[in-house]
Amino acid sequence: MEVYFPRAGQDPAPVLCGLIERAQSSCDVAIYSLTHPDIVKALVQAHKRGVKVRVITDREQAQGNVQKHAVNTLLLAGVPVKVNTHPGLMHLKMTVIDGKVATTGSYNYTKAASEKNDEMFVVVKDPGFVKSCQAEFDRMWADTRDFHSLKAEK
């Protein structure tokens, strides 16, 4: 397990981007706030390399201008994105890479979280933990009542 604290000078963005860049088969992201341009770029590049990239984010966050742009960038590149339709927040901060590595913590994928906020980002390789994270992502992805797919704005 690896733990990163941005305000202690341990920016998680390069770590997460590195994990995404090394993904070989899949990259599943459930993230409340996604605006960090380096992370968006890494996800698009992974998709272009043939990695199966799927993103779930929060519907309210996805309506903000910066996140709307980030989500549309993913959609235009062909990355499928879903948002919650249930009344609560999609508040997870989780990525699962190749079913072998999972990340979690309080860290949203934003520049503010990388540069200003007190946050924690954890990389976990424990097979049981990763399997649980993958199962929850897959459950949400398959749930057509509480989550729906977004379409790109051209």
Which residues participate in catalysis according to the annotation?
A: 91, 93, 98
Integer Cα distance of 148 and 126 in angstroms: 30
**81 and 147 Cβ atoms separated by less than 8 Å:** no
Quick one: which H or E segment has residue 91? none
Structure-block tokens of residue 126: 């424990």
**109 and 39 Cβ atoms separated by less than 8 Å:** yes
Q: Give the Cα-Cα-Cα angle 119, 3, 115 (nearest 5 degrees).
A: 35
Phi/psi at 28 (5° precision): -110, 125
